[in-house]
Amino acid sequence: MPELPEVETVRRGLSPAMEGAVITRAQVNRPDLRWPFPDNMAARLTGARVERLRRRSKYILADLSTGETLLIHLGMSGRMLVSGDPLGVFVHDHPAPEKHDHVVFDMENGARITFNDPRRFGAMDLMPTDRAEEHALLAKIGPEPLGNAFSESHLVAQVKPRSMPIKSALLDQKIVAGLGNIYVCETLYRGRIHPARRANKISAGRIAALVPIIRDVLTDAIAAGGSSLKDFRQADGELGYFQHSFDVYGREGEPCRTPGCSDHIRRIVQSGRSSFYCATCQR
């Protein structure tokens, strides 16, 4: 499932084609994805101007001139692809419709935004913009890791008292927004902390030191266009490249990249998810 860097990459790719433009025609080709679409979604979107395109955790939010906000979640295999952009950012003509093109936006500037989702785990919803943060999917999410509210004091206060593994704590969206399995594995490697270490057994200083590491990992991933493992594509259809920079994720049995370390990357399963780490470097 796309994590914060992938969703932010898609948001940035959509912005030139969507922000400030009117949706001249919205086409909804099925009644639902993971959940039913809101009533009359196509009619409510048609004619609306996208005033602002933003991201909250792993969700893209399009604030509309109608006073509503469109929430978009990519799910496991969702892709939002841009074609026909008159600004020349995207070189693709409008492609022929595909089987899993579930929602299509034709913009006044000639761009077309196609939401394609073979597994149908994605979602879209509409909500009043002035109450967007009250939406059930957003209300309990923690601070954005690249924002000012995410601080050393916040992370220590939220993580230090917990007896759960540190990896589980960092995956808790109520503590910090947008982190998923890939980037927590990479963060803990850079922080030299074993993923199974109990949070309350880690010093406050080591927990606090994870804040700039988390920011660096996410910033590096965004700069590389995210990580493409299976289905993820950027808005122009291109792959992300951060997977080529993984230090531990998916590298079971391969040599540790820490200079002077002769160990190899290992894998354990925590709560049904694979954790990758170096037993020598991470304690």
Query: pLDDT at residue 23 above 50?
Result: yes
* pLDDT number for residue 105: 97
Helix (H, G, I), strand (E, B) or coil at 239: coil
Under CATH, which number does the domain 4-134 receive?
3.20.190.10
Fold that domain 152-278 belongs to in CATH:
Helicase, Ruva Protein; domain 3 (1.10.8)
Q: Give the model's confidence band at 97: pLDDT under 50 very low, under 70 low, under 90 confident, else very high.
A: confident
All CATH 3.20.190.10 domain ranges in the chain, comma separated:
4-134
Q: What residue ranges of the chain are covered by domains with CATH 1.10.8.50? A: 152-278
- Point out the catalytic residue in the list 55, 58, 79, 251: 58
254 is catalytic: no
38-95: pLDDT as tens digits = 999 999 999 999 999 999 999 999 999 999 999 999 998 888 988 886 555 555 567 7
- pLDDT above 50 for 232: no
pLDDT at 25 over 50: yes
Structure confidence at residue 2 as a pLDDT band (50, 70, 90): confident
3 as an active site residue: the answer is yes
pLDDT tens digits for 102-111?
999 999 999 9
Report the predicted TM-score, pTM, of the whole model to 2 decimal places: 0.89
- Compare 149 and 77 and report the one with higher pLDDT: 149
Active-site residue, selected from the candidate residues 2, 16, 143, 145: 2
